[in-house]
Amino acid sequence: MRWKPGGVSEDVEDRRDEGSDGPPSGRGIRVGVGGAVVLLVLSLVLKTDLFSLLGAGTTPGPASPVSGGGVASRAAPSPAPAGEDERVQFVSFVLDDLQATWGSEFARAGKKYPHAKLVLFRDETRSACGGAEAASGPFYCPADGKVYVDLGFYDELRDRFGAPGKFAEAYVLAHEIGHHVQTLLGIESRVRRLQEEGPSRRNALSVKLELQADCLAGIWAHSTERRQLLERGDVESGLGAAAAVGDDRLERQATGRVHPETWTHGSSAERVAWFRRGLESGDMASCDTFAPSR
């Protein structure tokens, strides 16, 4: 992907050098791309349902207040890996490009686009949705309009999930900003309400929400392709990242079996298909995963 280092975005909140204010509250964690992977694998290894222990889920839920009371000791943060400064500049470039793209899309519809903030942290931090840990993976908190990323996740994406390349990293951020777009349009809150009204549809609605975020990521990719920012192999890199975190692939790797009724993000094929739909159309109307026929 063609990009130019240009410092750190004004929309980046860098908490990497902050220690922990005590253990995360664990409530209201909204697991994004990759988060379900880590929790699923650890649950199987430890034979403990970490999802229930953390109160985390891959579906949106009401924001929980941060636990208070007392002064906890601050743990020293992990040292910054070599080369992380370049990665910070890259995610800053992608973030600014994403926000400019969606700003234009909203303006064409006569709407304003309030920017999301990107919080970079190491090991753990807090959000308006509760505690956040590196193991949760990148996630978006609708209560504060911020995306939370431990940059070490990108190494996992490359090494553990077999999705290398700058555009694969960009896809992850584009997916989470897609959730910001859904929140601004009122889609996220409507889905949450439907989930509360029909708990049996919770997972199915979560899949539709996540697939739509993939499609919205594809719309941004369409924009980068039109502006000739993509290089050979970039599209394949993005598609590979989408496929790497498909529920069927993750379940098969972890247990050797696939249980579609437990999915919350969609299969690899579905994620690739919806990302490609946005990439090829560049049209938000093509991203209606909630249409009855879909």
Q: Is residue 132 part of a domain?
A: yes
Instruction: Compute the average pLDDT of residues 58-68.
Output: 32
Domain that holds residue 22: 12-67+76-286
Residue 51 has pLDDT above 70, yes or no: no
CA distances from 80 to 21, 84, 224 (A): 19, 7, 30
Q: Which of 258, 250, 245, 166 is nearest to 211 (CA)?
A: 245
Q: Is residue 156 part of a domain?
A: yes
Give the separation between CA 121 and CA 289, rounded to whole angstroms.
Answer: 32
Residue 68 has pLDDT above 80, yes or no: no
- Model confidence pTM above 0.85: no
Residue 95 has pLDDT above 70, yes or no: yes
Q: Is residue 2 part of a domain?
A: no
pLDDT more than 90, % of the chain: 41
Question: What per-residue confidence (pLDDT) applies to 190?
Answer: 96
CA distances from 167 to 3, 216, 286 (A): 11, 15, 22
Q: Is residue 6 part of a domain?
A: no
Task: Convert the pLDDT of each residue in 162-218 to its tens digit.
Answer: 776 788 888 889 999 999 999 999 999 999 999 999 999 999 999 999 999 999 999
- The answer to whether 239 touches 221, Cβ cutoff 8 Å, is no
Question: What per-residue confidence (pLDDT) applies to 263?
Answer: 60
Q: Which of 230, 236, 233, 217 is nearest to 275 (CA)?
A: 217
Q: Is residue 294 part of a domain?
A: no
Question: What per-residue confidence (pLDDT) applies to 55?
Answer: 38
Number of domains in the chain: 1
- The answer to whether 287 touches 215, Cβ cutoff 8 Å, is yes
Residue 112 has pLDDT above 90, yes or no: yes
Question: What per-residue confidence (pLDDT) applies to 232?
Answer: 67
Geometric angle at alpha carbon 46, from 43 and 51, rounded to 5°:
30
265 residue type, one letter: H
Q: Give the β-pairing of 124-127 and 130-133.
A: antiparallel
